[in-house]
Structure 1
Amino acid sequence: MMKLVRNVNWDWFVQFRPFYKRVLNFGNEMMKGHCKILVFQTYNGLVAIGSLVFFVVAMSCAFLYLFPSVPPVVNSYPVSNSSSSSTDKCDVFEGRWIQDESYPLYNASECPFAEIGFNCFANGRKDRGYAKWRWKPKNCDIPRFDVRAVLEKLRGKRIVFVGDSLSRTQWESLICLLMTGVEDKKSVYEVNGKKITKQIRFLSVHFSSFDLRIDFYRSVFLVQPASVPIRSPKRVKSTLRVDKLDDISQEWIDSDILIFNSGHWWTPSKLFDM
């Protein structure tokens, strides 16, 4: 108890000073107004007052022991409102689309790997405004796409896209973007000589001058299909082995960058009826 009292911040007791004075004044008035009181009654009054004072002190010590002055658990950090060109200092997913007349970064009609069904210009669309938008994060700027710098960064690498038609169009767009920085367009070719269509499950484009491969594997669920269980409802046409990756997954292993897309297929309307 004495150790606890020594560690107490005595500034807290200043708040109780009026209360102490009131208690002592009460004792004095009681002694003055009752001079003829018996000695043992006076002694009992002093004991009562002393007990009350001791109770207040004990409660104060207990309060300071249970609720000591400690620094806040959550530290506050200054928030900078200035823009930064470094994407690792802000959330690049929080922002908005803004118009940029320098866009698009490539012409799909000049890219041999842009599937005809997704080439809006070649299919006769007149307005071009939809292609002149770029993403602007709230608190920073994304560096403009530098095709030569990207090609050098990816030299000798293998990039693999896995998913559905959305993955395929992303794969096509990346190839078309990178082709704008290649002088000899014939040095970029599909490895198996295939034409890009949605029926083909595997496509691979090689940038020979940079020893760069960009592959696409169609795998909408990423896992293996399975047979229909016995006595299952007639509406069940197929099942999935969620514990087994697609049988072509072994071909993704040696990739340097692996990009998945499968979310659209894992929905109630795609997998089952409620």
Structure 2
Amino acid sequence: MEKSSKLHSVLRPEIRDSESRREMGVSSSFKDQSHTPSLTRKPWPYTIYALLPIAIFLLFFYRLPLLPPSTDQLPRSNRLILSASVPPSLSSSSFSQEEKIVNEAPCDYTNGKWVRDKLGPLYNGTTCGTIKEGQNCITHGRADLGYLYWRWKPRQCKLPRFDPNTFLQLLRNKHLAFVGDSMARNQLESLLCMLATASTPNLVYRDGEDNKFRRWHFASHNITISVYWSPFLVRGVEKSKTGPDHNELYLDHVDEKWGNDLEHIDMVVLSIGHWFLHPAVYYEDDEVLGCHYCPGLNHTEIGFYGVLRKALKTALKTIIERKGANGKGTDAVLTTFSPSHFEGDWDKAGACPKTQPYKEGEKVLEGMDADLRNIEVEEVEAAKGIAKQFQGLRVEVLDVTKLSLMRPDGHPGPYMYPFPFANGVQERVQNDCVHWCLPGPVDTWNQILLEIMRRWQIQSWVEE
């Protein structure tokens, strides 16, 4: 019963109790297959079966937050999502279905298409206080809000709508860290905004220029979520006006700004890519290995593909050695490269002009975008084989490259600044065609992250 109860706390929405869904106005194809005992012979079984749901009801709600957040400022279509749902009944058939899910091959979320979604996002630009100014497209005056009403539909399976309560339950008493470049921060702020619809995140630490190191605490579930600025994952010196005009990377040393905290991190989400395109000099064993685009320096040009691979190897190896070898374990997820969508000059009006996703087959993943994504997937697969030697150490790839490639409409563009056309359309205007509006397509990354976590948790219970 205990194992079954745990499993039901992470059941997919489509297989929850049908009666609960009728009360919420949602239909379900799931049918409870448990058999009602005969009541004509013995009254005691009837009494037990009558009291059991009540006991489970009380147990469930004492473990979850009792009150949903205020929805006064949320879009009308999203208010139903935040209402408290009735817990599912505990039938043996549900356990077998979840066990079947674990035994099947994981869903391939990389292949699919964007389809219209009337519900829209869980949050908007005014209900979440953690959105970076440059990605707050709604409050900056973007009028074409059609980009908010799409959802990713995988070919082989269903991607459920993000459930903040389930995410909070799975992360209870843990520390989740996002480590990497500004795309890691983009994904982090998306997650915080979605979780804030169910529980309030309290900022408990901040440091560095542009708040590059921050930490929040969810008192409701004793959860810590942090972000670490580390655009190379390995130790690096960023180019600056007062220093070198190129980056310097030390490929065999992890960046200890996050490496030193691994002991206190239960789950880490890594994200790198765009910073490797900049000019840089690379070091290994404290000697110059080569460089990327360094005219005037007497170094061998070696590009950045092999360098990114080495940096990933060092980061994943460090996580495995420090967390796996001491038996504490952790979960490591790598979010793959997110393509940009510049069309022309970055400072010219219409740099990312699309207002709808690409249709299936209209855009092909190729060139540098495909190469970077493939390197990242390969390195995660290699790390998986090593991680299997240690109990409680799990490594997974969060492959978002293709689904992100299909969303040229989801970038801030000129709305990285407030009301850029208040004084008329300007020929030159700074554009952001790299990061994502919040809310926006980046929210889907966290939908898939939740499914990875859900599968991990169910698998651990089935194996107990």
User: Normalised by the shorter chain, which TM-score bucket?
Assistant: 0.5 to 0.7
Aligned equivalent of 1:94? 111
1:238: Cα distance to partner?
4.6
Aligned equivalent of 1:107? 124
1:85: Cα distance to partner?
8.8
- Match for 1:141 among 155, 158, 163? 158
1:163: Cα distance to partner?
1.0
Aligned equivalent of 2:249? 240
Query: Are residues 85 and 111 of structure 1, via their aligned partners in 2, closer, same or farther at CA, if it must alter by over 3 Å?
Result: farther
1:253: Cα distance to partner?
3.5
2-structure distance, mates of 1:169, 1:198: 16
2:212 is the counterpart of 1:201: yes
2:242 is the counterpart of 1:225: no
1:262: Cα distance to partner?
1.2
1:200: Cα distance to partner?
2.5
1-structure distance, mates of 2:135, 2:237: 32
Runs of 4+ in 1 over 6 A off after TM superposition: 84-87
Larger radius of gyration: 1
Aligned equivalent of 1:258? 268
2-structure distance, mates of 1:91, 1:101: 24
Q: Which moved more, 1:169-178 or 1:237-246?
A: 237-246
For residue 186 of structure 2, what is the amino acid of its counterpart? Answer: T
CA RMSD of aligned residues (A): 2.8
2-structure distance, mates of 1:159, 1:215: 6
- Match for 1:215 among 197, 222, 226? 226
Aligned equivalent of 1:151? 168
The TM-score with structure 1 as length reference comes to 0.58
CA contact (8 A) 2:173 2:223 kept: yes
Report Cα offsets for 1:197-225 as digits up to 9, x if no partner: 96223100111111011100000011113
2-structure distance, mates of 1:211, 1:246: 27
Query: Are residues 226 and 209 of structure 1, via their aligned partners in 2, closer, same or farther at CA, if it must alter by over 3 Å?
Result: closer
Please give the secondary structure, in 1, of the residue aligned with 2:236: strand
1-structure distance, mates of 2:223, 2:129: 17
Report Cα offsets for 1:215-257 as digits up to 9, x if no partner: 0000001111369xxxxxxx87452110001121211342111
For residue 187 of structure 2, what is the amino acid of its counterpart? Answer: Q
Report Cα offsets for 1:62-91 as digits up to 9, x if no partner: xxxxxxxxxxxxxxxxxxxxxx99995531
Query: Are residues 203 and 148 of structure 1, via their aligned partners in 2, closer, same or farther at CA, if it must alter by over 3 Å?
Result: same
1-structure distance, mates of 2:134, 2:213: 18
Query: Are residues 162 and 146 of structure 1, via their aligned partners in 2, closer, same or farther at CA, if it must alter by over 3 Å?
Result: same
Please give the secondary structure, in 2, of the residue aligned with 1:191: strand
- Percent of aligned pairs sharing the same letter: 36
CA contact (8 A) 1:136 1:142 kept: yes
Report Cα offsets for 1:98-155 as digits up to 9, x if no partner: 1101111211321011122211111111121111111111111112211112211111
1-structure distance, mates of 2:137, 2:237: 38
2-structure distance, mates of 1:238, 1:150: 37
Aligned equivalent of 2:204? 191
CA contact (8 A) 1:85 1:143 kept: no
Aligned equivalent of 2:140? 123
2-structure distance, mates of 1:98, 1:253: 42
For structure 2, list consecutive stretches of 5 or more residues without a partner in the other structure: 1-99, 239-243, 281-291, 294-300, 302-464
Query: Are residues 201 and 115 of structure 1, via their aligned partners in 2, closer, same or farther at CA, if it must alter by over 3 Å?
Result: closer
1-structure distance, mates of 2:116, 2:196: 24
Query: Are residues 256 and 166 of structure 1, via their aligned partners in 2, closer, same or farther at CA, if it must alter by over 3 Å?
Result: same
2-structure distance, mates of 1:99, 1:164: 30
CA contact (8 A) 2:235 2:250 kept: yes
For structure 1, list consecutive stretches of 5 or more residues without a partner in the other structure: 1-83, 228-234
2-structure distance, mates of 1:146, 1:91: 20
Please give the secondary structure, in 1, of the residue aligned with 2:260: helix
2-structure distance, mates of 1:159, 1:190: 14
Query: Are residues 173 and 129 of structure 1, via their aligned partners in 2, closer, same or farther at CA, if it must alter by over 3 Å?
Result: same
For residue 261 of structure 1, what is the amino acid of its counterpart? Answer: S
The TM-score with structure 2 as length reference comes to 0.36
CA contact (8 A) 2:246 2:279 kept: no
